[in-house]
DNA sequence: AAATATCAGGCGAATTCATGCAATAACAAA
DNA sequence: TTTGTTATTGCATGAATTCGCCTGATATTT
């Protein structure tokens, strides 16, 4: 054990953290950064000004924005980010030390990866480059990327090689990001993605479906699985919420 | 580690210890080093300045950071981005339709992936999640990710599985991002990364080494290959530049 | 318009830094 | 060994950075 688990952040480090946060959420409030990094808002403001003058971020009243701001994609993201954070919090409670977890991609999964506490010792198998990077930030997490052809659309690896690799795994938990979800089951629109998700479900002891409530009761063209194949449904809503009523008989646990 | 601690450390030894500490923790405070090594902070400061001018660490107010610390930085933010863009332009000229290309990670590679013209029809094999994402933005590019354990430090997949997968490939071109480069060859500091790079070189018809001039004449602990194993050296400098003189006899083409 | 939040700029305390200098250590030649 | 040369180190000084707090100005919200 080393003596110097210094809590002191060097200025440069703090600024890197700020950039990381901004890249992740696309925007950030000075007040949030102040809380996260445990320094005064003045210091944050000075950092933001400095980073802005170096052209690394865009400073706005109250906080800062990412430089490469993809309007259409990210606005939806930021809009749902709070909800996804709630989902992440619920999801993380299911994770125990020593688990092996299989995960797909998607922004909800990304929020989970980001919120993961640093003291968890777990092994993640993933098909998403983005998630693998986010997970690799956690020192006690082992990340295995299941390689294959990267789908231009969904940005996860797909194809026979991935599927057969997944078949060789026996995971404790499968965390699925969801695109279509209704009483008939989970659905998706991309054939290759469906193959991967099916394999993931088959290789896991328990399956967790995570989705923002917005996607409830939407049906896409291809079926991934029926609801009796999943163990947990996690949304940002309270389990007793009206919208979730139709699912209480169909899914084992709703969180 | 008890009685011998009273032994006086020579400057070189001390600096090696400093580098060790930084590699271990990614950062270090001058005050901590002063305690650990039992010398005054002035001496530490002088050491840090020296190591920084040799480009081995990044000195900041209060201590120093590892060079590879800013992993999650944005594109425009990456160090020496303009230079890397020049390298990317030169590199891309070597790519022809239909090629199969094997690539490592690194920010230079990222610049290349980013600058790639959309009309190129090529297949990329990569071990870097970041590069795979960047490449997947190009509609006519097929991206295959070579999966494996993701190294927390270098953020590329490493391990036996990757290496043996690479051995099965026969690529036209291998594009290597470089960390250490001097007349004796290419070097790197991470054992696992070296194994992957070696395999990549072996599986490719031609090898391209790309590096910003700053990294020329730097020697890291582990050898990746000698210079006669690479075909092209690409830097941001003109091929006739003074700094490149020592390499004209050693590398086939300098661009 | 009033209430609230965010801002820029200045101040002071604490820390870190660069620099010069003298004491000491390391090393090479005699 | 001794002697002379150079490198290294610790300390002292004043300068520079960093950071939290404060104030009055500006922006945003209600």
**How do residues A234-251 score in pLDDT, each as one tens digit?**
998 889 888 898 899 899
Q: Which SS3 state, helix, strand or coil, does residue B72 take?
A: coil
Which domains are seen in chain B, by residue range? Answer: 3-69 (1.10.10.10), 80-254 (3.40.50.10470)
Per-residue pLDDT, A127 = 95
Residue B201 has pLDDT above 60, yes or no: yes
Strand partners, B209: B176, B233
Q: What is the mean pLDDT of residues B101-120?
A: 87
Q: Report the side by side order of strands in the sheet with A222-225.
A: A180-182, A185-188, A222-225
Which residues are CB-neighbours of B2 under 8 A, at least 6 positions away?
none
Between CA A125 and CA A104 the distance in angstroms is: 9
Structure confidence by residue, pLDDT tens digits, A90-140 = 999 999 999 999 999 877 888 888 778 777 899 999 999 989 988 887 878
Per-residue pLDDT, B216 = 80
Q: What average pLDDT does chain A have?
A: 85
Question: Of the ranges A143-147, B204-208, B245-249, which one carries the lowest mean pLDDT score?
Answer: B245-249
Which range is most confident: A170-174, B84-88, B237-241? A170-174
Residue B49 CB in 7 A reach of strand D: no
Residue of A nearest to B141 (CA): A152
Which pLDDT band, with edges at 50, 70 and 90, does B22 fall under? confident
Instruction: State the CB neighbour count (10 A cutoff) for residue B244.
Output: 17
* Top-confidence residue, B157 or A53: B157
Per-residue pLDDT, B165 = 93
Which residues are CB-neighbours of B4 under 8 A, at least 6 positions away?
none
Per-residue pLDDT, A192 = 92
Query: What percentage of residues in chain A have a pLDDT greater than 70?
Result: 89
Residue B1 has pLDDT above 50, yes or no: no
Residue A74 has pLDDT above 50, yes or no: no
Q: B241: which 2 tokens?
A: 């530049």
Exposed, middle or buried: residue A52 (CB in 10 Å: 0-12, 13-18, 19+)?
Answer: middle
Structure confidence by residue, pLDDT tens digits, A173-223 = 999 988 889 999 999 988 999 999 999 999 999 999 998 888 888 888 899
Which pLDDT band, with edges at 50, 70 and 90, does A42 fall under? very high
**Touching check for B140 and chain A: CB below 8 Å?**
no
Residue of A nearest to B125 (CA): A149
Helix (H) or strand (E) holding B12: helix B11-25
Q: Which of A28, A133, A135 has the most B C-beta neighbours within 10 Å, making it the best mutation to test the interface with B?
A: A133
Per-residue pLDDT, B69 = 63
User: Shortest CA distance to A183 belongs to which of A214, A226, A232?
Assistant: A226
**Touching check for A20 and chain B: CB below 8 Å?**
yes
Per-residue pLDDT, A29 = 87
Which strand C bases fall within 7 angstroms of a protein CB? 5-10, 15-20, 25-26
Between CA A237 and CA A86 the distance in angstroms is: 9
Which pLDDT band, with edges at 50, 70 and 90, does B237 fall under? confident
Residue A147 is nearest to which of B76, B130, B147, comparing CB atoms?
B147
The DSSP result for B123-162, as a single string, is EEEES-HHHHHHHHTSTTEEEEE--EEEPTTT-SEESHHH
Q: What average pLDDT does chain B have?
A: 85
Instruction: State the CB neighbour count (10 A cutoff) for residue B38.
Output: 13
Between CA B139 and CA B142 the distance in angstroms is: 8
Which pLDDT band, with edges at 50, 70 and 90, does A154 fall under? confident
Q: What is the mean pLDDT of residues A20-24?
A: 74
Per-residue pLDDT, A220 = 87
Residue A159 has pLDDT above 90, yes or no: yes
Between CA A115 and CA A93 the distance in angstroms is: 11
Which residue has 């606005």 as its token pair? A75
Which residues are CB-neighbours of A44 under 8 A, at least 6 positions away?
A18, A30, A33, A34, A37
Q: A19: which 2 tokens?
A: 């950039």
For residues B179-195, one letter each, b for 16 or more C-beta atoms within 10 angstroms of the residue's C-beta and e for the rest, the string is bbbbeebbbbbbebbbb
- With 0.85 as the threshold, say if the pTM is over it: no
Q: A210: which 2 tokens?
A: 């995570």
**Touching check for A240 and chain B: CB below 8 Å?**
no
Interface contact flag, B74 A4, Cβ < 8 Å: no
Instruction: State the CB neighbour count (10 A cutoff) for residue A76.
Output: 12
Instruction: Quickly give A10 CA vs C15 C1' distance in Å.
Output: 13
SS3 of chain A: the string is: CCCCCCCCCCHHHHHHHHHHHHHHHCEEEHHHHHHHHCCCHHHHHHHHHHHHHCCCEEEECCEEEECCCCHHHHHHHHHHHHHHHHHHHHHHCCCCCCCEEEECCCHHHHHHHHHCCCCCCEEEEECCHHHHHHHCCCCCEEEEECCEEECCCCCCEECHHHHHHHHCCCEEEEEEECCEEECCEEEECCHHHHHHHHHHHHCEEEEEEECCHHHECECCCEEEECHHHCCEEECCCCCCCHHHHHHCCCCCEEC
Q: What is the mean pLDDT of residues A22-43?
A: 84
Residue A69 has pLDDT above 70, yes or no: no
Instruction: Quickly give B48 CA vs D16 C1' distance in Å.
Output: 18
Q: B6: which 2 tokens?
A: 């009273």
Query: What percentage of residues in chain B have a pLDDT greater than 70?
Result: 91
Residue B176 has pLDDT above 90, yes or no: yes
Sign of CA dihedral B89, B90, B93, B98: negative
Per-residue pLDDT, B198 = 95
Query: What percentage of residues in chain A have a pLDDT greater than 90?
Result: 44
Interface contact flag, B157 A145, Cβ < 8 Å: yes
Per-residue pLDDT, A150 = 94
Which residue has 């594009």 as its token pair? B175
- Biggest distance spanned by C-alpha atoms of chain B: 67
Which pLDDT band, with edges at 50, 70 and 90, does B68 fall under? low
Cβ contacts (< 8 Å) between B63 and chain A: which residues? 10
Per-residue pLDDT, B7 = 46
Q: B27: which 2 tokens?
A: 């950062």
């Amino acid at each position: 054990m080393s003596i110097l688990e210094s809590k002191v952040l060097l200025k440069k480090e703090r600024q890197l953290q700020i950039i990381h946060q901004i890249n992740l959420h696309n925007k950030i409030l000075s007040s949030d950064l102040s809380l996260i990094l445990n320094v005064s808002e003045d210091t944050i403001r000075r950092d933001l000004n400095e980073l802005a003058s170096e052209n690394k971020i865009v400073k706005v009243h109250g906080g800062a924005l990412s430089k490469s701001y993809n309007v259409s994609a990210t606005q939806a993201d930021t809009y749902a980010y709070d909800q996804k954070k709630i989902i992440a919090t619920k999801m993380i409670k299911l994770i125990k030390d020593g688990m092996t977890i299989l995960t797909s991609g998607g922004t909800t999964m990304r929020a989970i990866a980001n919120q993961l506490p640093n003291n968890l010792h777990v092994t993640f198998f993933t098909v998403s480059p983005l998630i693998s990077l986010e997970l690799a930030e956690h020192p006690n997490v082992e990340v295995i990327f299941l390689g294959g052809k990267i789908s231009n659309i969904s940005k996860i690896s797909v194809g026979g090689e991935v599927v057969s690799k997944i078949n060789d795994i026996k995971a404790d938990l499968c965390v699925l990001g969801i695109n279509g979800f209704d009483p008939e089951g989970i659905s998706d629109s991309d054939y290759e993605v469906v193959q991967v998700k099916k394999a993931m479900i088959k290789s896991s002891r328990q399956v967790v479906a995570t989705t923002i409530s917005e996607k409830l009761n939407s049906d896409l063209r291809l079926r991934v699985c029926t609801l009796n194949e999943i163990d947990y449904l996690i949304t940002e809503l309270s389990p007793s919420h009206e919208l979730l009523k139709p699912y209480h008989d169909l899914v084992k646990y709703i969180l």
